[in-house]
């Protein structure tokens, strides 16, 4: 039982079979999954979705798979948290946080990997691989273990300790490469043609991988009672997540799950130390000039983003913007979210929140818009970004007197 018709080139629209292919032979454009929406429309309903599991697999009809045996650690269906305290700080009346820190390996990557490895296994692959800025490594190693697949994950050697430990523990091979993510990615692109029996989740099975991000949009729509928000703020690494959130909102309408068609404003968030898409947006350019990343937001540090151009297009066509924030702002963003809502985000979440703050302050976000900010990774992954300035309020000897004295000091601070 399949709802997919095949793959199609985003540039020249040529068709390809639904195999492990990712670029068009004719024009080198990226390939995208094509669905039989008429068929899906006849089987999907709000009720059928509600009967599904509390994971991304409740939207199985709109995911690029052929059977009902997913590689599943329980990714998705994360809370959409109403953020009144943060909202009132920013002057936004209807603010929601999509809390994707709550995924099995602590980031949104579990969505895309669960889909990619499910499809890879259906296509007969027994070995999984990826080029990663960290979170993808965690997720590929964990899901491969779950599926009984062998894994090879390639990471830049300067990655956060937490991300290396939490990948290696799953027992696959972790290859630390001396270079940036873009070097790692180039190596994997070469390797993918050398090793056709390996499923590189973000190379040869990328069209399937990318579809997993749509579930963020599906969940937000369902959690808002099958209505769409007015404006969303999404972090950008390769730009894939941002474009697929837009696609997900459109698909929900297409298959009859929403009563009204609506263009959600989609805004993108980058770190200033790696902001090629924000730079192109600001200068009204169509071409994304690659950069050499230098930021604490390592999970977003892709200097040459594969879907940057499409992310730019989505932001422009939807009435959104793409903005960038400094490393200090990122740390402030992490603290602000933690302090107002009790949610601890990694640096990528700090990028989203700091950008949200900017857009609220400069009037891009209107106070009466329903806004969703995507917080995509857990703070425990990047504690070293905060550690130097975040610790005990005071250190005292174990006496009552000392505590009373310190209390005076804490009140003054
Ligand atoms: C990978 C990642 C993203 C965004 O990825 P895209 O490549 O733009 O789809 C966002 N947040 C976190 C924490 C990530 O790891
Ligand atoms: Zn083409």
Query: 10-51, pLDDT tens digit by residue?
Result: 999 999 999 999 999 999 999 999 999 999 999 999 999 999
Q: Is the pLDDT of residue 63 over 80?
A: yes
Q: Name 268's Cβ contacts closer than 8 Å, sequence gap at least 6.
A: 233, 234, 235, 236, 239, 242, 277, 278, 281, 311, 315, 320, 321, 322, 323
In contact, 389 and 251? CB cutoff 8 Å: no
d(CA 310, CA 244): 10
Mean pLDDT of 130-146: 95
pLDDT at 67: 74
The best mutation among 30, 101, 104, 109 to test binding of ligand 1, ranked by most ligand atoms within 8 Å of the C-beta, falls on 109
pLDDT at 409: 84
Say how many Å lie between the CA of residue 119 and the centre of ligand 2: 23
Give the three-state DSSP class for 410: helix
Mean pLDDT of 234-252: 98
Residue 222 token pair:
């369902």
pLDDT band at 340 (very low <50, low <70, confident <90, very high): very high
Mean pLDDT of 255-266: 96
d(CA 199, CA 118): 11
Q: Is the pLDDT of residue 411 over 90?
A: no
pLDDT at 408: 87
Q: Is 240 in the pocket of ligand 1 (CB under 6 A)?
A: yes
Mean pLDDT of 321-332: 98
- 136 CA: nearest ligand 1 atom: 15
pLDDT band at 114 (very low <50, low <70, confident <90, very high): very high
Q: Is 314 in the pocket of ligand 1 (CB under 6 A)?
A: no
Say how many Å lie between the CA of residue 405 and the centre of ligand 1: 46
Average pLDDT, the chain: 96
Mean pLDDT of 279-287: 96
Q: Is the pLDDT of residue 311 over 80?
A: yes
Mean pLDDT of 334-342: 98
Say how many Å lie between the CA of residue 16 and the centre of ligand 2: 10
The best mutation among 267, 350, 376, 378 to test binding of ligand 1, ranked by most ligand atoms within 8 Å of the C-beta, falls on 376
Q: Is the pLDDT of residue 107 over 90?
A: yes
Q: Is the pLDDT of residue 159 over 90?
A: no
- Neighbouring C-alpha atoms within 13 Å toward the C-beta of 235: 32
Q: Is the pLDDT of residue 239 over 90?
A: yes
Q: What's the topology of domain 80-106+211-389?
A: Rossmann fold (3.40.50)
Say how many Å lie between the CA of residue 23 and the centre of ligand 2: 8
Q: Is the pLDDT of residue 3 over 80?
A: yes
Q: Is 132 in the pocket of ligand 1 (CB under 6 A)?
A: no
pLDDT band at 1 (very low <50, low <70, confident <90, very high): low
Say how many Å lie between the CA of residue 237 and the centre of ligand 1: 5
Q: Is 235 in the pocket of ligand 1 (CB under 6 A)?
A: yes
Residue 329 token pair:
């702002």
Helix axes 347-361, 327-341, angle to 10 degrees: 90
Q: Minimum-distance ligand to the CA of 16?
A: 2
Residue 149 token pair:
């697949």
Mean pLDDT of 93-108: 98
In 148-256, where does DSSP find H-type helix? 161-168, 181-194, 206-211, 214-223, 240-254
In contact, 279 and 304? CB cutoff 8 Å: no
Of 67 and 362, the structure prediction assigns the larger pLDDT to 362
Mean pLDDT of 157-183: 91
Q: Minimum-distance ligand to the CA of 98?
A: 1
Interior/surface letters 129-164, b for 16+ CB within 10 angstroms, e for the rest: bbbbbbbbbbbbbbbbbebebbbbbbbbeebbebbb
Residue 40 — left, alpha, or beta (φ > 0 → left; ψ -120 to 50 → alpha)? Answer: alpha
Say how many Å lie between the CA of residue 376 and the centre of ligand 1: 7
d(CA 5, CA 75): 25
Q: Is the pLDDT of residue 212 over 90?
A: yes
């Amino acid at each position: 039982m399949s709802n997919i018709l095949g793959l199609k080139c985003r540039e020249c629209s040529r068709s390809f079979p639904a195999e492990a292919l990712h670029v068009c032979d004719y024009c080198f454009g990226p390939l995208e999954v094509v669905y039989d929406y008429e068929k899906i429309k006849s089987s999907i309903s709000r009720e059928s979705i509600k009967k599904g599991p509390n994971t991304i697999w409740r939207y199985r009809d709109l995911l690029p798979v052929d059977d009902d045996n997913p590689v599943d650690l329980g990714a998705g269906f994360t809370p959409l948290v109403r953020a009144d305290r943060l909202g009132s700080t920013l002057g936004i009346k209807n603010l929601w946080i999509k809390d994707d820190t709550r995924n099995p390996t602590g980031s949104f990557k579990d969505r895309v990997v669960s889909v990619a490895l499910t499809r890879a296994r259906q296509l007969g692959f027994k070995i999984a691989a990826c080029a990663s800025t960290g979170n993808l490594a965690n997720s590929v190693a964990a899901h491969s273990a779950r599926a009984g697949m062998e894994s090879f994950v390639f990471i830049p050697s300067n990655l956060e300790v937490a991300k290396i430990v939490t990948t290696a523990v799953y027992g696959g091979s972790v290859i630390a490469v001396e270079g940036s993510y873009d070097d790692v990615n180039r190596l994997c692109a070469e390797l993918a043609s050398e090793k056709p029996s390996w499923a590189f989740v973000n190379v040869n099975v990328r069209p399937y991988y990318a579809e997993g991000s749509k579930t963020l949009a599906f969940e937000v729509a369902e959690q808002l009672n099958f209505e769409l928000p007015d404006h969303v703020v999404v972090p950008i690494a390769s730009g894939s997540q941002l474009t697929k959130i837009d696609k997900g909102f459109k698909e929900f309408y297409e298959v009859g799950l929403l009563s009204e068609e609506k263009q959600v404003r989609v805004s993108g968030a980058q770190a200033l130390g790696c902001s090629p898409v924000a730079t192109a947006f600001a200068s009204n350019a169509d071409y994304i000039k690659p950069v050499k990343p230098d930021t604490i937001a390592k999970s977003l540090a892709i200097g040459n983003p594969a879907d940057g151009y499409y992310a730019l297009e989505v932001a422009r066509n939807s009435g959104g913007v793409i903005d960038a924030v400094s490393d200090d702002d990122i740390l402030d963003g992490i603290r602000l979210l933690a302090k107002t809502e009790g949610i601890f985000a990694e640096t990528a979440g700090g990028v989203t929140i700091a950008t949200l703050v900017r857009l609220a302050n400069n009037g891009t976000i209107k106070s009466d818009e329903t806004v969703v900010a995507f917080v995509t990774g857990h703070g425990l992954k990047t504690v070293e970004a905060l550690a130097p300035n975040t610790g005990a309020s005071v250190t005292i000897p174990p006496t009552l007197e000392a505590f009373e004295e310190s209390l005076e000091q804490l009140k003054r601070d």
